[in-house]
Amino acid sequence: MERLDLPQGTLDLLILRTVSLGPQHGWAISERIQQISNDVLQVQQGSLYPALHRLERRGWIKARWGASEKNRRAKYYELTKAGQKQLASEQDAWEKLTVAVAQVLRAV
40 binds another protein (CB under 8 A): no
74 binds another protein (CB under 8 A): yes
Q: How far apart are CA 59 and CA 56, in angstroms?
A: 5
**Where are the alpha helices (H) located in 1-80, listed in sequence order?**
10-19, 26-36, 45-58
83 binds another protein (CB under 8 A): no
- Other beta carbons within 10 angstroms of residue 79's beta carbon come to 24
**Cβ 100 vs Cβ 78: under 8 Å:** no
- Residues 5-34 contacting another protein, CB under 8 A: 25-27, 30-31
- Residue 26 CB, nearest approach to another protein (Å): 5
**Binding positions for another protein, rule: CB under 8 A:** 25-27, 30-31, 44-46, 49-51, 53-54, 56-59, 62, 65, 68, 72-75
